[in-house]
Each structure stands twice: as structure tokens, then as C-alpha cells.
Amino acid sequence: MAAHRLQCELISEADLERMIAAQFGESGQLASNQVLPDKAWCPLAASVLASLGLERHLLLCCTGAEILLRDLPAVFRFHVVAPESLRAANVAADGRVSREEAKRRLRKLTAAQFLLRKRRFGQKTSSLTSFDMVVNAQAMGLEEMVDLLASAVRSQGLLEGGLLSSQAAAKVQFEARLKLARFGLLGYAPDRVLVERKPFGHPSEEVFANLLDFYRIAWDYEPRSFPLQWDKDGKVSEAFTPDFYLPEFDLYVELTTMKQANVTRKNRKIRLLRAIYPHVNIQVFYQKDVQDLVMKYRSPERVPR
């Protein structure tokens, strides 16, 4: 009902599982007798959803959706609660079983859901503050809950704000690739990342390059300069050269680890770049971002090329 009302595509857990299986099958990275790691499900799902979000608005209904989507912009998290008596009555009606059998099935379903969440996300439950709206199915009917959801989504202008931007999608895909590479999934052959080594302007740039190398993510160092201002004769008076370009994601990356005065000047250039070249995707990593990436993904100090 909500998907129809909001004119979104409904993605159920079964739909997402099929899409993940299709994408993963194309990667050819898993042996026939190997099982997909539970922890790999989240980045795989995020990658699939980011691709879909470029084309249409989505309504996702699956276990742990509030965790899966917490890093994406323009998301509304809606949660329905109900007492056990009402949930058991629904199970009894759906399965045409006795009340006692319904309670047994409900306990089994709940335990299975807790276990699934624990394996995939490392937590059995989420606090209610993880959601933007929580409604009680005992206090209102189905249509009332859909009305509330539709009103909330429209009041925040989520549909009018457009689809997921290519820049946001590229960031999700980049993060997903780093996480998946830890499981040996969606990796690329080493020759995909063998490019001519250039002198780096800052040690942090070499650390970042080694991180990309380690996870087989192709990159180019300072491949292009973007003119930002011109003099009266039409000659370029100011330009900006991002540190890295990741061709698989069509994403430029700029590392900012300098003192605040220089950070302010660089941020001004990036704002100009985005205004003049709105089609260019660029992600800025500040000093703490770089440190967090290195600590999180445990890149070695240096990867031989």
C-alpha cells in the first residue's frame, strides 16, 4: 500500500536476496563449495541498493534495513511495533493454525530474525531512536499507518528531492568495495591497478594509494586539472587538481590533511568545482577520514607494486 501510494518500487527481502545473488554470481569470486560470509551481505546489499537508487525511488522492507541504510542520504526509517498477542493472531490467520501453534511459530520466527541480525550486523536489535517514526499496530489500522508514512515522507520532501546522486552512489560503492575485498569478493586482478608510480605530494597520499592497491581498486594520481577562473584574455588563472581518480566508480578523491587555513582555501575550490562541473563526482577525505580508513581496513604500510 505504501509503495503504491508513494509511487516507489517495493524491494522485499526476497527481492534483495535475488539481486545480491545475481550480482555476486557475475563476480565469479566464490568457489562452488564456499558459503557467502554473513558479514559480506551488508556491503553487497548496499551496493545493489545504491545502483537502484540512481534510477528510481525505493521502499525497502527487510530485516535490519535501518542499519543497512543509515549512511545513505534522504532515507526515512519507519518501524511498526505490536504486542505479542496481535502478532500471534496475525500468524494464526496467515497460517490457519491454532493460537498455541501460532505462538510457537512466532517465537521461532523471532529467534531466527535475532540470529540473522546478529550474523549480518553484529546486533540482535536496534533502539527505537534508530527510526524516524515508530507506530503501534494495536492503536491504528493499516491504512492509518500508511497515511502517516506517506505524510511524513512528503513533508520532508524526500520524493521531490530527486533520486540518489551519482556522487552519493559512488561513495557507497567505494566503501562497499573496500569491505567486500576483505572477504576476497569482487576483487580485480592486480594488473588492473598497475599504473606508473608518481611522486606523491604528501605522505598521506601514498598511504591512501597503498590502501587502494591492497584492495585492488584501480586509481590514477592527479590525472586532470579543472579550470576554475579565467582572466580577461580567457587564460586560466586558477585551477584545481584532485589527488586521485577511481575509474571504476567515476569518482575523484581529494585528501585534505593540511592546516585549517589551507583547508578553507581548498574547500572554496571544491565548491567552485562542483558549481562549474556539476557532473563531476568528488569525495573529500579529511585527515581523520584517512586515519579511520587505514585503521578500519588495516592497510599495510606499503604494498609492493
94 within domain boundaries: no
Query: Which pLDDT does position 169 carry in this prediction?
Result: 83
| 99 φ/ψ sector (left φ>0, alpha ψ -120 to 50, else beta) | alpha
CATH number at residue 194: 3.40.960.10
Cell readout for 274 is 562542483
84 within domain boundaries: no
Q: Is the pTM of this model over 0.85?
A: no
What letter represents residue 136's amino acid?
A: N
Q: Are residues 59 and 18 in the same domain?
A: yes
pLDDT, tens digit, 9 for 90 and up, residues 61-117: 999 999 888 767 789 999 999 999 999 999 999 989 999 999 999 999 999 999 999
What letter represents residue 193's amino acid?
A: V
Q: Are residues 133 and 45 in the same domain?
A: yes
Spatial separation of the C-alpha atoms in residues 57 and 162, rounded to whole Å: 8
234 within domain boundaries: yes
Domain residues for the domain of 8 are 2-79+128-155
